Amino acid sequence: MEKSKDKEPTFSVFLSASEEGNRRIGCEMVAPLMTLLLLFLSYVTATTSLHNHEEHSRRNLLANGLGTTPPMGWNSWNHFNCQIDEKIIKETADALVSTGLSKLGYIYVNIDDCWAELNRDDKGNLVAKKSTFPSGIKALADYVHSKGLKLGIYSDAGYYTCSNKMPGSLGHEFQDAKTFASWGIDYLKYDNCNNDGSKPTTRYPVMTRALMKAGRPIFFSLCEWGDLHPALWGDRVGNSWRTTNDINDSWDSMISRADMNEVYAEHARPGGWNDPDMLEVGNGGMTKNEYIVHFSLWAISKAPLLLGCDIRNLTKETTEIVANKEVIAVNQDSLGVQGKKVRMEGDIEIWAGPLSGYRVAVVLLNRGPMKMSNTANWDDIGIPPKSVVEARDLWEHKTLLRPFVGKLTATVEPHACKMYVLKPKA
């Protein structure tokens, strides 16, 4: 979470627009040059500030072996905000198992802001909030582990977290990392509120070192909201990095986060992922088709799949979306290459990315208010033009009998998408 909800990361928006220009059909010749120039300028801007830090750490600080595929699980923030307690966390763990979601890969149970007392104990340790987490975090971790799941926790690279209701870890990184490890924590989301004004590239690597010394592999999720282009340095520091400010449960917020995140596609890889923020599927603010777009874009973007709804009472509709094994398989594919926009024509977009086994994942997206025809050309999505292709529709769960040559066309409803895995026939 964060406080500055209105603040847009201006540079990535800028880049988005220029890339869009570059990819549009029939754009002026000047667009590619402008794009190069802007990319160069943005790189210089973002990296000059890193040089001091880089003197000390040219190699990866983080070698925890985690995140070979994007993390999957649940986080308390999007649905519960600060209204959390140990009962909700335990019931969520129970529900992840009883619904079968844990078997599909949703194994992280992540506690967000507001789990600790405002004051540290007399030795300077973080203390679980007595009124809401009376059994303590260690007991909760034991419970979650007994279910075959993993427990995540939240802190902040500042003096207080974003809620101002608990301390941050700035200046206490080594002590807090040790505490987390001693409790059995498996995942740390690290926010950016109430800091000392120094750069994230100064503050975040301190926690990286602390986690590496803590004696337990802990997935490190950087949440500096994309402010200092973390895609350019995050892979040395964390297992994932937010590329955007907070999502909310609306179409505009969701789709704009997907856009901002897409710009950095080249930087994602096994062990380090772009993070457009957690899922809102099931929270009620979007239509079923819009939530399908949300889940499809997060999957093809190799984003963390962290559910943000109340798992204890999932509707049939929400379950149908988040338990779609075929869409999850795209996200978890071993190749780990983030899909991107390969063509944009008005409200119509083609997103595509390679999968293992010479397959290609494709999303045909309609962002507009009217039903549209949408075509993926082999040329655009990296399939040899003469290839005969078998298409699997991941939302209809049907293999289309007709073999496709050169392109695939479908009609797409407003604010909706189709998603396929295409497999060239030998």
Ligand X SMILES: *[C@@H]1O[C@H](CO)[C@@H](O)[C@H](O)[C@H]1NC(C)=O
Q: Which residues bind ligand X (CB under 6 A)?
A: 91, 248, 250, 252-253, 256, 310, 312-313
Nearer to ligand X, 103 or 312 (CB): 312
Nearer to ligand X, 5 or 213 (CB): 5
Nearer to ligand X, 173 or 310 (CB): 310
Burial 54-84 (b: 16+ CB within 10 A, else e): eeebeeebbebebbebbbbbbbbbbbbebeb
The span from the CA of 292 to the CA of 74, in Å, is 18
Least distance between ligand X and beta carbon 313 (Å): 4
Q: Which amino acid is at 269?
A: R
Least distance between ligand X and beta carbon 250 (Å): 5
Residues 6+ positions from 268 with CB-CB distance below 8 Å: 231, 274, 301, 302, 336, 337, 338
Nearer to ligand X, 184 or 226 (CB): 226
Nearer to ligand X, 94 or 393 (CB): 94
Nearest to 240 by CA among 203, 196, 270: 270
Least distance between ligand X and beta carbon 149 (Å): 18
Catalytic residues: 191, 246
Nearer to ligand X, 253 or 338 (CB): 253
Least distance between ligand X and beta carbon 87 (Å): 9
Least distance between ligand X and beta carbon 283 (Å): 11
Q: Are 358 and 326 in contact (CB under 8 A)?
A: no
Residue 155 has phi, psi (to 5 degrees) of -145, -165
Nearer to ligand X, 146 or 313 (CB): 313
Least distance between ligand X and beta carbon 9 (Å): 12
Least distance between ligand X and beta carbon 112 (Å): 17
Closest-approach residue to ligand X (CB): 253
Least distance between ligand X and beta carbon 256 (Å): 6
Nearer to ligand X, 42 or 256 (CB): 256
Q: Are 323 and 305 in contact (CB under 8 A)?
A: no
* Cα end-to-end span (Å), the chain: 48
CA-to-CA dists, residue 39 to 32, 232, 283, angstroms: 10, 12, 36
